Structure 1
Amino acid sequence: MAQKNIVVVGAGFAGVYATKRLAKHFKRDQDVTITLIDRHSYFTYMTELHEIAADRTPEDAIQYDLQRLFCRRKNVNLVTDTVTNIDRENKVVKTKHGAYPYDYVMLGIGSEPNDFGTPGVKENGFTLGSWEQAIQLKAHIEDVVRRGAVEQDPDKRKALLSIVVVGSGFTGTETIGELRDWRDVLAKENKIDPEEITFSLMEMAPTIMNMLDRSDADKAERYMIKRGIKVMKNTGVIGVHEDYVDLKDGSTFPTSTLIWTAGVKATDQAKNFGLTQGRAGRIVVNSHMESQDDPNVYVVGDVSFFAGNSDRGEPQIVQGAEASAQTALTNIEKKMAGQAGDTDYKASYSGFMVSLGSRYGVANIMGWLHLSGFFAMLMKHLVNMLYFVQIFSGYYLFQYFMHEFFRTRNDRNLMRGHISRQGNVLWAVPARIFLGLMWLVDCWPKIFSSSESWFVDKLRLPFSWLQPAATSGASAAGADATSAASGAAADATKEAAKAVFSLSYQYGKDPMMVFDQMPNWMYSITKTLIPNQQVAFFMQKSMTVIEVLIGLALVAGLFTWLSGAVSVAFTAIFCLSGMFYWVNIWMIPMAIAVMNGSGRSFGLDKWVVPYLQKVFGKWRYGKPKALYGSSVMK
């Protein structure tokens, strides 16, 4: 068989998906080579750009290195270069630095924001169509909030601290929701009132989020309004300036940050290939995803325009990109097998999901299942992770899971920070709960058992000076006889089962005490503190109450550091008092381990400790501000 070459242009959702599938299909065919060309050495997970712009995840979290994605695919040739044109006559894809022959080429060069020529957007506005733009927007927001915090002119301050998003599609709503999540952190870092940082969503249409069912969109709108986002419908932006925008009704709106998400178009690169373009510059294709001009050139993803289902073309979303890529690669595989490439494009949209920050979203699954809040966000994450399964990348599936759930900061994840590894406390939670339950289980008979209760005036502490003295000679003689008999029995028992040192119970062995008897210095201290039975009865009850409180606090994750420290102290006292075995010494290192702040993960310390720090810090030091004695401060 002659050498066959498939060239995929663009490492986006469609391009990576198609390349992975083609590489797997032809992995045993040494005569087929797939070349993937992109101007970057990485695949950008475009649907999560808002997370980078709003500082939820690390800047490189949505960059997936192509070498890591394709290192096991020997039939894939990776090229980092910019495609300049396609020589269809000689069947060669030309780049700035090379040329690549092809039998079939697949164009998946994506889309870019469309400002529709609105004056000032390019000069004074921001778009969110690439990783670089997300980084630029993030830096800008940090800068304007920093400047706004120390600006004393009320009008300038208001413009600097006002953030406007134009367009209520997927990108617009997810961006403003994520930025709203970031607000309190920005305010704290810059020592200003969070209420001063305002957010406005502007939409030209009378309704927002028109890609969703009305009920889901209305629910999302109510959530945004509740969070203080100003939703401005029937509002058109016709001009963008440095610190204000012009609205269609003739008014102006103060802002130094306008984010334009009101539309997308094919990348400017699309016009370089000499192929027929349709709406918004997208390249026209037939139902097989073949370009209208050349059956050997397939066009997939956002840049393709198929009008078979709608004169507006297919939605420019990930599901559409995958479906078009699947159609194209199936037809390529058929043609290379000598069959007719006649598989038609089938629109398959399993649902739409929109996040409004890290903790809330709305979703419509399969057209009938409507979700919101936690479950909508969970579904969004599952769909995102499904893509990595589809492209056979366990490595980046793991990385996604880590940066979305475990490596987030400021509680900005689905579990509200409980499983974040920023404090490395999550894995201590089982130890904390187990240690707490141990205290509670140990105290159960001390409280509820009639024969073992420590809340009755019956001595439970085994200290010799507390035992009642002999009252008569007969009693003494009887006691001596009893002691002799008991001693003989004890000696026999010791011969039968000698105490063995171990850090775990050994079947058939008696555990060894840490101390058979108290050290002299401990004896003196204890006898001074507990001189008689009346004090002993009080101490028995008090110790039991404290043990219960320790157990409850550990289970609930309340004052965990203190509870762990008291656990260590009590265990040490029990050891020195001759009341503890070596096999239970594990309690000390476990109690120390849970003192690392484990109560902040699935525990009350997550809220109680910051609250106390805030209250006592403010009481002693006052509240930090960016400006003092300024009339613009609230």
Structure 2
Amino acid sequence: MLFMAKKNIVVIGAGFAGVYATKRLAKHYKKNKDITITLIDRHSYFTYMTELHEIAADRVEEDAIQYDLQRLFCRRKNVKLVTDTVTTIDRQNKQVVTEHGRYDYDYVMLGIGSEPNDFGTPGVKEHGFTLGSWESAIRLKEHVRDVIRRGATEHDPEKRHALLSIAVVGSGFTGTETIGELRDWKDVLAKENKIDPDEITLSLIEMAPTIMNMLDRNDANKAERYMIKRGIKIMKSTGVVGVHDTYVDLKDGSTYPTATLIWTAGVKATDQAANFGLQQGRAGRILVNKQMESQDDPDIYVVGDVSLVDEDGTGKGQPQIVQGAEATAKAALLNIEAKIENKAAVDFKPNYSGFMVSLGSRYGVANLMGWMHLSGFFAMLMKHLVNMLYFVQIYSGYYLFQYFMHEFFRTRNNRNLMRGHISRQGNVLWTIPARLFLGAMWLVDCWGKIQGSGSWFTDKLRLPFAWLQTAATSGASAAGADATTAASGAEATKAATTAAKSVFSLSYEYGHDPLAVFSQMPTWMYNITKTLIPNQDVALFMQKAMTIMEILIGLALVAGLFTWLSSAATVAFVATFCLSGMFYWVNIWMIPMAIACMNGSGRAFGLDKWVVPYLQKTFGKWRYGTPKALYGTDTTK
């Protein structure tokens, strides 16, 4: 028996619009138990569609743009996840019908997205490749690897040229970003297959006389110059009218040899859009009014690429981009809330703050708010920030972190914005000596503190703070304390009769005393320390506890266990010792060495190789549960 809430909202499609709307609705109604939101998608994950080219050109791992729905919604108790394919909407009975069940609704939000449009060009389906899904990106990547491998060993010049030629049709967002990413991958492929990179030919084919027509002309020209400089062939005013296994037919009657034709020349509503009995417009998109209601049923809202708002009467509709998807979803969810809460409806308000296009991992062009033009590093940085902003909008700190890691730290072959300098794929083996030395330093330093006359585990005061020394000299325990100067804690560490002059150096100099980082504690540090360690009893406890912590840090570094935390603790301890007047410039090397050891050095010949993945798996399961391929076990048949 299907659970009946007072209001059921069913969201069809876990794309940009669907996930955005579901998150916002779930938060808005998190305290209202009478509202249930059901999110239905044929996959158990959300695909970050705008980054498919990164998968197709092997920049990131295959699962880098897959975001599990359970991880996105596990904390939203008013959201029900269903993995199924929607077949139709029974408007008479107000039920969404899937292959395996039915779901009652009061309001439906339909966001089933778009798919590539080949305009009926012969051979595209049989011999071409598109980038409309995660599966198609994987298929393209495997094909490219295969043809380059075969081309590298092909003796026939014509066959070799066709196998080593890759052509992209269409210079929109998908086409230009794909060709740019393939250019980055080209050098890697050439090296892996032992061929000259110049043998791999990349061509961008565009029917119009100019490319990248969604951008300002100056920005587009700048991008074109960059592509040409990197060896990409630009073929303008060139139409493809047929696709074959090893060549394509061009509109002028000639042929172009290529075994890899990637079609990105247009998009249309998914074929599934015709199953709902709703009026369709250009490219199969479903017609809606300004409140995002379908023209056939005011309780069915259509959002994202599949919707068409004909504001200017041209029939073109709003751009099929992420900003458009979010804007339509926002209008739809606000109007659903308005109906439930008896408020006034709102109109769809397109808000396109700019356009950004990447041409590989390190270069891009951007036009923000119509007046700010960026290129290169700053354009790519802005693109990453905008991508990360989406995760902020859907309240997913987990996947914000994962995006950051995938794009900056888990890439290979220097293919990230920082040119590989911060990539974790670099060999961390060489930091093992630094880690072992740093750990050994802590243990050797602590050896004199745990045994003999200098032990810190006796009742003899070792902390050289002025207020503690003053108290000690006035009581019965004065004989057990070192003579100190009341003016400052740091002065207590110096021999009062020394004649040598303290000298700044980053290494020990024979015949000189090392210079302290701070000759005396700053006033604010003095006040904090005196508050935390007000008397000898607390001081005796703290000196024992500090020694134990130093030993644990040393052991952890040597064993490679919790290396990041141990290294961070090293930095914190050294900074505290410096501010306390108990540390010298000659030992300041500990800070940069500890930071260097934070690069994952514990995973090479260290316990972190097993402990950290185990903890990540255990705590991930505790917080998010076990990701599944199917959701929804209480459906009605």
Secondary structure, aligned partner of 2:19: helix
1:101 aligns with 2:104: yes
Separation (CA, whole Å) in 2 of partners of 1:226 and 1:196: 16
Q: What does residue 237 of structure 1 align with? A: 240
Q: What does residue 82 of structure 1 align with? A: 85
The residue type paired with residue 101 of structure 1 is D
Q: 1:396: how far off? A: 0.2
1:334 aligns with 2:352: no
Matches within 5 A, 1:193-232: 193-232=196-235
Deviations 1:566-618 (A, max 9, x none): xxxxxxxxxxxxxxx999689699879979999xxxxxxxxxxxxxxxxxxxx
Q: What does residue 284 of structure 1 align with? A: 287
The residue type paired with residue 330 of structure 2 is Q
Return the match for 1:63 from 62, 66, 83. 66
Q: What does residue 441 of structure 2 align with? A: none
Q: What does residue 508 of structure 1 align with? A: 493
The residue type paired with residue 339 of structure 2 is K
1:48 aligns with 2:51: yes
- Compared with structure 1, are the counterparts of its residues 591 and 39 closer, same or farther at alpha carbon in structure 2 (3 Å cutoff)? closer
Matches within 5 A, 1:445-524: 507-508=492-493
Return the match for 2:131 from 122, 128, 141. 128
Q: What does residue 172 of structure 1 align with? A: 175
Q: What does residue 323 of structure 2 align with? A: 319
The residue type paired with residue 295 of structure 1 is P
**Is the contact between residue 53 and residue 135 of structure 1 (CA under 8 Å) also seen in structure 2?**
yes
Q: What does residue 395 of structure 2 align with? A: 392
1:154 aligns with 2:157: yes
Q: What does residue 466 of structure 1 align with? A: none
Separation (CA, whole Å) in 1 of partners of 2:205 and 2:429: 41
**Is the contact between residue 166 and residue 202 of structure 1 (CA under 8 Å) also seen in structure 2?**
yes
Separation (CA, whole Å) in 1 of partners of 2:16 and 2:291: 19
Q: What does residue 364 of structure 1 align with? A: 367
Secondary structure, aligned partner of 2:179: helix
The residue type paired with residue 256 of structure 1 is A
**Is the contact between residue 364 and residue 370 of structure 1 (CA under 8 Å) also seen in structure 2?**
yes
**Is the contact between residue 419 and residue 426 of structure 1 (CA under 8 Å) also seen in structure 2?**
no
Matches within 5 A, 1:517-556: none
Return the match for 1:295 from 280, 295, 298. 298
Secondary structure, aligned partner of 1:164: strand
**Is the contact between residue 127 and residue 244 of structure 2 (CA under 8 Å) also seen in structure 1?**
yes
Structure 1 residue ranges without an equivalent (≥5): 436-495, 499-504, 511-542, 544-580, 599-634
Secondary structure, aligned partner of 1:358: coil
TM-score by length of 2: 0.69
Deviations 1:108-164 (A, max 9, x none): 000000000000000000000000000000000000000000001110000000000
Secondary structure, aligned partner of 1:127: coil
- Compared with structure 1, are the counterparts of its residues 364 and 594 closer, same or farther at alpha carbon in structure 2 (3 Å cutoff)? closer
Separation (CA, whole Å) in 1 of partners of 2:589 and 2:367: 50
**Is the contact between residue 431 and residue 597 of structure 2 (CA under 8 Å) also seen in structure 1?**
no
The residue type paired with residue 336 of structure 1 is I
Q: What does residue 610 of structure 2 align with? A: none
**Is the contact between residue 418 and residue 426 of structure 1 (CA under 8 Å) also seen in structure 2?**
no
Overall identity of the aligned pairs, in %: 77
Q: 1:311: how far off? A: 2.5
TM-score by length of 1: 0.69
The residue type paired with residue 11 of structure 1 is A
Q: What does residue 73 of structure 1 align with? A: 76
Separation (CA, whole Å) in 2 of partners of 1:118 and 1:146: 28
| Farther-moved stretch of structure 1 (323-332 vs 583-592) | 583-592
Secondary structure, aligned partner of 2:203: strand
Separation (CA, whole Å) in 2 of partners of 1:260 and 1:278: 23
Separation (CA, whole Å) in 1 of partners of 2:594 and 2:12: 56
Q: What does residue 275 of structure 2 align with? A: 272
- Compared with structure 1, are the counterparts of its residues 339 and 245 closer, same or farther at alpha carbon in structure 2 (3 Å cutoff)? same
Q: What does residue 351 of structure 1 align with? A: 354
Structure 2 residue ranges without an equivalent (≥5): 439-480, 484-489, 496-509, 511-582, 601-637
**Is the contact between residue 420 and residue 426 of structure 1 (CA under 8 Å) also seen in structure 2?**
no
Secondary structure, aligned partner of 2:100: coil
**Is the contact between residue 425 and residue 596 of structure 1 (CA under 8 Å) also seen in structure 2?**
no
Question: How large is the Cα RMSD of the aligned pairs?
Answer: 3.1
How many aligned residue pairs are there? 464
Separation (CA, whole Å) in 1 of partners of 2:599 and 2:110: 52
Separation (CA, whole Å) in 2 of partners of 1:382 and 1:292: 37
Q: 1:339: how far off? A: 2.8
- Compared with structure 1, are the counterparts of its residues 594 and 81 closer, same or farther at alpha carbon in structure 2 (3 Å cutoff)? closer
Secondary structure, aligned partner of 2:20: helix
- Compared with structure 1, are the counterparts of its residues 85 and 591 closer, same or farther at alpha carbon in structure 2 (3 Å cutoff)? closer
Q: 1:422: how far off? A: 1.1
Q: 1:15: how far off? A: 0.1
Q: 1:421: how far off? A: 1.1
